[in-house]
Structure 1
Amino acid sequence: MITRSEYNAHQLSVLEGLEAVRKRPGMYIGSTDSRGLMHCLWEIIDNSVDEALGGYCQEIIITLHPDGSVEVEDDGRGIPVDKEPRTGLSGVEVVFTKLHAGGKFGGGSYSASGGLHGVGASVVNALSARLDVQVTRASKVHQMSFKRGKPGRFADKGRPKADASFTPFEGMDHPLEIVGKAKRGLTGTRVRYWADEQIFTPDAQFSLEELQGRARQTAFLVPGLRIVIRDNRTHRPNPELQAEEVFHYDGGITEFVEHLTHQSSVTDVWRIEGSGNFTERVPVLTEDGQATMEDVQRTCEVDIALQWNIGYDTVVRPFVNIIATPKGGTHVAGFEAALLRTFRKVVESNARRLKVGNDKLEKDDVLAGLTAVLTVRLAEPQFEGQTKEVLGTSAVRQIVSRVVEKQLTALLTSSKRNEKAQANALLEKVVAEMKSRISARTHKENQRRKNALETSTLPAKLADCRSEDIAQSELFIVEGDSALGTAKMARSSDFQALLPIRGKILNVQKATLSDMLNNAECAALIQVIGAGSGRSFQLEAARYGKVILMTDADVDGAHIRTLLLTLFFRYMRPMLDAGRVYAAVPPLHRVDIINPGARSNEAVYTYTEQELHELLTRLEAEGRRYKEPIQRYKGLGEMDADQLAETTMDPRYRTLRRVSVADAERAEEIFELLMGSHVAPRKEFIISGADALEREQIDA
């Protein structure tokens, strides 16, 4: 027999005050793991940053304590300590216990702020086992403590603990204690809290790296603000990071873009600034507490710093009132739409010179190589959700779009010599990206993996393998035709392919995309791997499971290997990310050990000078003889096929060094320093190392 449970008004739950936050924390902070823990900290920090935005705060100090608590201190105006007329509670208690309460609802305290929903501090309080707040105002230090959102007193003196004995306040009288005096004119707020273990997962912890990254970007966005981070935890998760870091920048978002850009630039950092007005219908509180709908005039200020580099990666950091909006919103939509519309117009007007025909630019063509910091400031922006990751104010899209289109058009059509040269270089880059995309799409539609009977469409110098098993196949990139001849006899043609290159390929670090595609060696390598290049690269289409760089063990070989790594890093990076690029490790020396009697001599290979020295020392100690002179391999062509197979190519005996992304990044840094467009860092490097160089070492 089936019985139906009763459903009436007795089954309805009404959550009062902060109970709703503790019941459904994910609704307010996204999750209860480390991400949610960090979000609580952002809520407190953002309140201090809003004071800095208003010009009232110059320093914020964030301290991670050994007991798991975190403290945020600022020298702003301090939370109001007088009574709020409607509730009869002190301003401090209102901020930390009442949802949707604060000074950011159009009361004139903040013209633009990040914390906008009035739930930040109160949510952190509700999800904390303990929270202490000290406010310095009017030459006095005021203090109030809370346990899981309820005000009261902890019975500890000097050393606060989350599990100390707690007495909640009775009735409506919740006094704000005065615990000290302060110098005249000194103001500020200090908040320290212990996250509630009942709410957060056991593995939730504060990320110092994430905290430092957020502090750095905030210091860029608020020029002049000093942010200090101190990690006093006993067991730090990442000891490599400094325990104390200070972030203080005066260059604003222009300096931010320079910090984010790691490649040679096509343009300088361009600054686009402007503003626009719009009307918004919002509820406004009257004196009796009632809300009425009124049309309010708003102003949206737009400030953008952007720069294009020779790469194809896109970095766009959008912010609203210095709050990061990683998932975009109306400001990003307006920015990208204006970029595409402006470039299309300018390219169409120069179609003949740029040789674009009837092809149309796409958004990815314009965004390739762009680094931009996009900031908008407006009062009471509408976000999608408490986590404030998406801006929803619709009018912002048109304002940003209008500002960007007007000023970017002026930059791209400028008659000033410097700006005109940069604009021409940028237009050529964007058109090259478009042509590369169209070429890759055509290649993808027409190309299939070639078997042994179809290799005629591949470069003639490629010695392909017979296997169609991509996971087992290997492509050796060898230096020169002399090494190719020996390698052909040393390889296993079933699964090992060979592609020779003529000396040193193009330095793609300072070459344009079109220069790279027009270079015979680079184009052949990209064609042989068969997965495209740049944004169009598709890892699953690569024809070989491993790509092995096999160059001579000398300075020129290291140079060629660095050039190849730079090409892979800039245009075929997924191969590096997947760990499918290797460097062969050929031996430097061959030592023939003379065995007594009829026993044949023994050949031993060494790979470093130290290894050779250790071997010779051991042989001398054992009284064994070896042939003089010891053979030193300067190139792969000096080996015969058996030696090359035994030492470098045969999977049973060889040593391969897998190239990581960090290796490739280092290679790119070296090329940017030694062969990039900027002369000053190279000159400084040469001068700093001049004393350490001996004249005899110069190969002249």
Structure 2
Amino acid sequence: MTKKTPAKPAKKASKTSYDSSNIKVLKGLEAVKKRPGMYIGDTDDGTGLHHMIFEIVDNSIDEALAGHCDEISVIIHEDSLVTVKDNGRGIPVDFHKEEGMSAAEVILTKLHAGGKFDDNSYKVSGGLHGVGISVVNALSETLDLKIKRDGKVWEQTYKDGAPKNKIKSTGSTKEQGTEIKIIPSKSTFGDNTTFDYDILIKKLRELSFLNSGVSIILKDERVNKTEKFKSTGGLIEFVEYKNKNKTTLNKPFRFLQEAKDGMSIEVALQWNDSYQENIQCFTNNIPQKDGGSHLVGFRTALTRTLNTYMDKEGLLKNEGAAPSGDDAREGITAIISAKLPDPKFSSQTKDKLVSSEIQPIVEKETYKFLTEYLLENPNDAKAIAAKIIDASRAREAARKAREMTRRKGVLDGMGLPGKLADCQEKDPSLSEIYLVEGESAGGSAKQGRNRQNQAILPLKGKILNTQRARIDKVLGSEEIITLITAMGCGVNEEFDIEKLRYHSIIIMTDADVDGSHIRTLLLTFFNRQYKELIDRGYVYIAQPPLYKVKKGKKDIYLKDDSALNDFLLEKISETQILNITKTKKMSPENFKNLLKSYSDFVELTQVPDINIHEDVLRCMVLEDEFPNKPNDKNVSVWLKSLNKKLSSFNSSKNTAKLEEKTKNIIFERYEYGNSIANIVPYSFFKSKSYKLIQSFKEASKDIKPGTSSIIKNEESFLINDLFVSLNTFLEDARKGLNIQRYKGLGEMNPEQLWETTMDPVGRRLVQVKIDDADDANDLFEQLMGDNVESRRDFIEANVNSVGNIDI
């Protein structure tokens, strides 16, 4: 029996003073350092880090919008150092009387300072309205400023937001512009200071489309990679880029209209044969994911214009009702770019434009230009109209299908499917459902589960590919209906998140070709029909083990090949010792790293697409690294040295030479009197495969054949050939072990399935997240759409980056 202790009366607060001394005013940039997320975004997930660069770039774009800049460069250096420079007018350096410092220092150290607050400096601008560059300075460990203006070069350095010295002239120049170098502060971003090339390139490409004529260069010195964007087609090219993997119905078209009070609207659009709309809105280059007044104006005009056209052309005579706005927008890709002097947004994040004055302008101009386009392009107009009428008919068919399924109780959650083994828990937040491949695995899962809160739904075979299926076809699929019924929240127009029966939806399939396909089909379904479930973090992928290792009476479950490899390497490093010399041992950690890098190297030699003989790859390990900036001279020197090693490596059949015209390297070998030549471009030496070779080289650099040795069971073995010795270790590691590879979930008994995959204590789940909806949709379209060429291109582009395909 637990004895209850009576609650003690609260102590009376001491009479400490509460006056003006208790009020803290965060001066200058201290407020930014204290609450960086308010100004720059999340400092943990990379959002805020990359926003630092975008804020600097936005200043350069503002210069371009004002007509003073046409080239912007972003350079990623080593050690989290980034440079952004432009050829604009250069930040002013003259003395600011009010603040008692240079104008440049005011802009970098004072919040809400800059030319954006002066109507004469910038008519329109993006960014954080004057706080951008000062926030970047506040959150930078160091910031180096270089300004070229009025024939002089000016420089100043900042540390943690404070100037280390006064701005001073360091030379003369005929150029103009601003250059800013930053190293993000570790006190703000921790260890998350690595810039992602793909995130930067996506944003810079977007800015290039939105600001045609401006050259934007991204250079990554870490991997010697450079891309240059200079759009001449502007939004037209933006739309074409968005539709690159789709079959389009018409030529893209655009219109640009200047309005009064400095406002302007530019729109580009095109239809494709998909069933989704993709409309992106921007205001002063700032994206609005939630649209706003410019989107409302565009949608209203689009529906009215198209219905008016189809009615006049007699295309709706045999149709029951006029197409809806959703029908008109099915398959549309559109970019709306509004420029306003003083835009108003619904929140600090600027995700929705609420400036009402832009809506009638967008509506009027869209109606005017779209009407002209339809009349001047009759073939395109008919193709668009046919698409819209087809969408309208499909919507009506879907309505009938919904009525039918509603009668069966599918859309309102009445009557659960017979194959569903439901759980006892009624609270969705505590309930989870496993979507299991096949009846066999479903049976084991039903027996092994916790009936209190785990439901099991076995799925028969491969479900419908919903990427290109309208809702009427979706509702005609038996397996999809079963899935929708189990979810309980309806679908499409009937969807109600509050009725969802499980807040953990776990996809559990085999680790083979069919299992991967079923998992992809399910993810496609959730992305198309239940994206909100993904956005809320409700969808997971189970990670059942691929191997069971039996060592004596002990069973060890390992998730995949990598885990098995780590287990074997751990066993070697724990039972053997590597002596670099008679007096120097290699640490167990370094020994394991050596074995891991060699194991990766062995895998590399077995990949057919590498197209380089194993002996050549081994000699590359012994050779100096390929020149970082290759030219005919240094590549020839490298090849000469490599050929020497090949001739002394019992590999006289292999030779290497440079093909100067194509800048490819030809590896030639002779087998059974035949010559076999493999062409390897310079790009191979920047690939993941070559990095594996360099990793093994680095890990084995201290090994000295003929001197280094291995101690095993108190017996010493001299290392004469590095490759032969390491190979022997890997083979010995499997001795005494019974390794079973699971081909499917059905091979596990209920206890094993519970222990490895369903028990919350020890299971591994991967949460499905979508960071960028457009990128996700493009990927699903490539993999699951109808365009075979696009899918082939994707496979060819990514095949070399796949370390191990377990299918």
| Residues matched between the structures, number | 592
User: Kindly tell me: are residues 406 and 488 of structure 1, through their superposed partners in 2, closer, same or farther at Cα, counting changes over 3 Å?
Assistant: same
1:188 aligns with 2:166: no
Task: Please state how far the C-alpha of 1:218 moved relative to its aligned partner.
Answer: 1.7
SS class of match (1:680):
helix
Contact 1:316 / 1:370 at 8 angstroms: preserved in 2? no
Instruction: Say which of 266, 272, 276 aligns to 1:302.
Output: 266
- Residue in 2 that maps onto 1:516: 474
CA distance in 2, matches of 1:491, 1:141: 74
Paired with 2:208 and 2:140, the residues of 1 have a C-alpha distance of 27
Distance change (3 Å), C-alpha of 1:564 and 1:45: closer
Retained in 2: the 8 A contact 1:491–1:650?
no
Give a deviation string over 1:594-625, Cα, whole Å, max 9, x none: x9xxxxx99999998997999xx99995699x
For residue 234 of structure 2, what is the aligned residue in structure 1?
252
Change (3 A) 1:527 1:407: farther
1:207-606 to structure 2, matched below 5 A, reads 208=195, 214-228=203-217, 246=227, 248-250=229-231, 251-257=233-239, 270-275=252-257, 277-278=259-260, 280=261, 300-305=264-269, 310=274, 316-320=280-284, 322-324=285-287, 330-342=293-305, 355-356=320-321, 361=324, 371-377=333-339, 380-383=341-344, 389=350, 394-408=356-370, 416-417=378-379, 420-429=382-391, 432=394, 457-459=415-417, 461-465=418-422, 467=424, 469=426, 470=428, 471-472=430-431, 474=433, 476-479=435-438, 501-534=459-492, 537-544=495-502, 547=505, 549=507, 555-577=513-535, 578-583=537-542, 585=544
Unaligned 5+ runs, structure 1: 1-18, 148-159, 168-175, 233-240, 281-297, 596-600, 692-698
Contact 2:155 2:169 in 1 (8 A): no
Q: 1:658 corresponds to which residue? A: 765
Amino acid at match of 1:645: P
**Cα-Cα RMSD:** 6.6
CA distance in 2 between counterparts of 1:656 and 1:219 reads: 46
How far apart are residue 374 of structure 1 and its match?
A: 1.3
Q: Distance in 2 between matches of 1:192 and 1:491?
A: 56
With over 3 angstroms needed to count, the CA separation of the structure-2 counterparts of 1:399 and 1:530, relative to structure 1, is same
Task: Spell out, residue by residue over 1:224-262, the C-alpha distance to the aligned partner (whole angstroms, 9 max, x if none).
Answer: 433346799xxxxxxxx9798655142533444455679
Q: Report the Cα distance in structure 1 between the residues aligned to 2:80 and 2:88, rounded to whole angstroms.
A: 25
Distance, in Å, in 2 between the alignment partners of 1:448 and 1:675 is 26
1:58–1:76 CA contact under 8 A, matched in 2: yes
Aligned residue number for residue 677 of structure 1: 786
Residues 527 and 534, structure 2, Cα contact 8 Å, conserved in 1: yes
Provide the secondary structure at the position in 2 that maps to 1:518.
coil
2:750 aligned with 1:645 = yes
* Alpha-carbon distance between aligned partners in 1 of 2:179 and 2:777, rounded to the nearest angstrom: 45
C-alpha contact 2:29 2:109 (8 A) present in aligned 1: no
Cα shift at 1:516: 1.9
User: Which stretch has the larger CA shift, 325-334 or 61-70?
Assistant: 61-70
Q: Identity of counterpart residues, as a percentage?
A: 28
Change (3 A) 1:415 1:33: closer
2:104 and 2:556 mapped to 1: Cα distance? Answer: 78
Given the alignment, which residue of 58, 63, 79 partners 1:51? 63
- Residue 307 of structure 1 and its aligned partner are, at CA, apart by 5.4
Residue 68 of structure 1: how far off its partner (Å)? 9.8
- Counterpart amino acid of residue 187 in structure 1: Q
Distance 1:529 1:273, change over 3 A: same
Q: CA deviation at 1:56?
A: 4.0
Shift of 1:93: 9.2
**Aligned partners of 1:101, 1:550: CA distance in 2, in Å?**
55
Q: Which AA in structure 2 matches 1:560?
A: I
Mapped partners of 1:512, 1:662: distance in 2 = 24
**Partner deviation per Cα, 1:335-372 (whole Å, 9 max, x = no partner):** 24334544666788866755558xx8467x76677654
* Structure with the bigger percentage of helix: 2
Q: Go from structure 1 to structure 2 and tell me whether the alpha carbon gap of 1:330 and 1:76 turns closer, same or farther (over 3 Å shift).
A: same
2: CA distance, partners of 1:435 / 1:386: 40
Q: Which moved more, 1:64-73 or 1:575-584?
A: 64-73
**8 Å Cα contact 1:223/1:248 also seen in 2:** no
Matches of 1:34 and 1:271, distance apart in 2: 35
CA distance in 2, matches of 1:650, 1:196: 44
Please show how residues 139-154 of structure 1 align to structure 2 within 5 Å. Answer: 140-143=151-154
SS at match of 2:475: helix
Q: Distance in 2 between matches of 1:192 and 1:45?
A: 12
2-structure distance, mates of 1:42, 1:79: 17
Distance 1:580 1:69, change over 3 A: closer
Going from structure 1 to structure 2, the CA distance change for 1:477 and 1:435 (only over 3 Å counts) comes to farther
Residue-by-residue CA offset, 1:568-601 (whole Å, 9 max, x unaligned): 232223444534444585989999x9x9xxxxx9
Matched residue SS, 1:565: helix
Q: Distance in 2 between matches of 1:116 and 1:555?
A: 48
Residues in 1 aligned to 2:52 and 2:443: alpha-carbon distance in whole angstroms = 65
CA distance in 2, matches of 1:687, 1:196: 39
Q: Could you tell me which residue of structure 2 aligns to residue 14 of structure 1?
A: none
Deviation at 1:519, TM superposition (A): 2.6
Letter in structure 1 aligned against 2:266: V
Quote the Cα distance in structure 2 between the aligned partners of 1:690 and 1:123: 41
Aligned partner of 2:254: which letter?
Answer: I
1:136 is aligned, of 145, 148, 153, to: 148
CA distances 1:99-126 after superposition (whole Å, capped 9, x unpaired): 888599675x777655898897799999
Q: CA separation of 1:409/1:535 partners in 2, compared to 1, >3 Å: closer, same or farther?
A: farther
Whether the 8 Å contact between 2:557 and 2:756 is mirrored in structure 1 is: no
Distance 1:132 1:494 in 2: 61
Aligned mates of 1:650, 1:345 — CA distance in 2? 64
Cross-structure match for 1:287: none
Question: Using a 3 Å threshold, how does the CA distance of structure 1 residues 584 and 410 change in structure 2: closer, same or farther?
Answer: farther
Question: When the two structures are superposed, what TM-score results if normalisation uses the length of structure 1?
Answer: 0.60
Q: Is the 8 A contact 2:547 2:742 kept in 1?
A: yes
Contact 1:313 1:369 in 2 (8 A): yes
- Aligned residue for 2:266, secondary structure, equals strand
Residue 75 in structure 1 maps to residue 115 in structure 2: no
Separation in structure 1 between the aligned mates of residue 227 and residue 742 of structure 2, nearest angstrom:
52
How big is the shift at 1:217? Answer: 2.6
1:64 and 1:690 map into 2 onto residues whose CA distance is 27
Distance (whole Å) between structure 2 residues aligned to residue 673 and residue 475 of structure 1: 27
Give the structure 1 partner of residue 571 of structure 2. none
Match of 1:294 in 2: none
**Displacement, 1:273?**
0.9
Distance 1:439 1:686, change over 3 A: closer
- The alpha carbon displacement at 1:95 in A equals 8.2
Q: 1:575 to 1:434 in 2, by over 3 A?
A: farther
Cα distance in 1, alignment partners of residues 404 and 185 from structure 2: 57
- Structure 2 distance, partners of 1:264, 1:353, is 30
Check conservation: 1:590, 1:604, Cα contact below 8 A.
yes
Q: Is the 8 A contact 2:549 2:737 kept in 1?
A: no
CA contact (8 A) 1:21 1:127 kept: no
The answer (yes or no) to whether the contact 2:83–2:180 under 8 Å persists in 1 is yes
